[in-house]
A and B are shown apart, each in its own frame.
Chain A
Amino acid sequence: EAQVTQNPRYLITVTGKKLTVTCSQNMNHEYMSWYRQDPGLGLRQIYYSMNVEVTDKGDVPEGYKVSRKEKRNFPLILESPSPNQTSLYFCASSFEPGELFFGEGSRLTVL
């Protein structure tokens, strides 16, 4: 089954404790991206990747890192999480250009 898998789905952590949210797709898509969704602000793009070893900043990249060492994986790294990074995070992938396939979302709370 074609899918985008995010882990963890739910996470509560504390300020400063490094964490990684994984994203994996099984559709051989070139394009992968990360978004955050906040009440009143909607969806915003954090980072995207056009292919392996090619990543670029989106609208709100501050406080985040990404890497694209393999085509199927695009992890989102929070080196030192802060409470303002409490959010609902989505990963998505597509052929470029093409229909976006979204993961189920990861709800992160930073205390």
Chain B
Amino acid sequence: KNEVEQSPQNLTAQEGEFITINCSYSVGISALHWLQQHPGGGIVSLFMLSSGKKKHGRLIATINIQEKHSSLHITASHPRDSAVYICAPYFHNNDMRFGAGTRLTVKP
């Protein structure tokens, strides 16, 4: 069964802190997306990765295919990073499932 677990559900940080959000999934995948959803509701794709690590500005995403685990890191967090972050594994049978999301609040 294609299942996704994401943690933590909620995260409050002070500006400048290093943030880590975790995502685990149950069976093999072909790729995994990290998405960002701001309070206005729009969804933006941050990363798609199938192996290793990707970096974009202060955001870093890693994936360990053998461990069935991915992490999203935010370095030097800023209040504008406040949003909901969602992982979305893309399973081998073309099924895409979503984590429940992590609501991040970064305080100045």
Interface of A toward B, CB cutoff 8 Å: 33, 35, 42-45, 48, 50, 56, 58-59, 88, 90, 92, 97-102, 104-105
Verify B95–A42 contact, CB threshold 8 A.
no
Residue B74, interface by CB 8 Å:
no
Verify B95–A43 contact, CB threshold 8 A.
no
Closest-CB distance, A3 to chain B (whole angstroms)? 12
Verify A42–B42 contact, CB threshold 8 A.
no
Question: Which residues does chain B contribute within 8 Å of A104, judged by CB atoms?
Answer: 41-42
Interface of B toward A, CB cutoff 8 Å: 30-31, 33, 35, 41-45, 48, 50, 86, 88, 90, 94-101
Cross-chain contact of A50 among B31, B42, B90, B94 (Cβ < 8 A)? B94
Verify A44–B98 contact, CB threshold 8 A.
yes
Question: At the interface, is chain A mostly helix, strand, loop or mixed?
Answer: strand
Top 7 nearest A-B pairs (CB, nearest first) are A43-B98, A102-B43, A100-B45, A99-B45, A45-B96, A42-B100, A42-B98
Verify B41–A88 contact, CB threshold 8 A.
yes
Closest-CB distance, A49 to chain B (whole angstroms)? 11
A35–B98 alpha-carbon span in the complex (Å)? 10
A56–B100 alpha-carbon span in the complex (Å)? 23
A88–B84 alpha-carbon span in the complex (Å)? 16
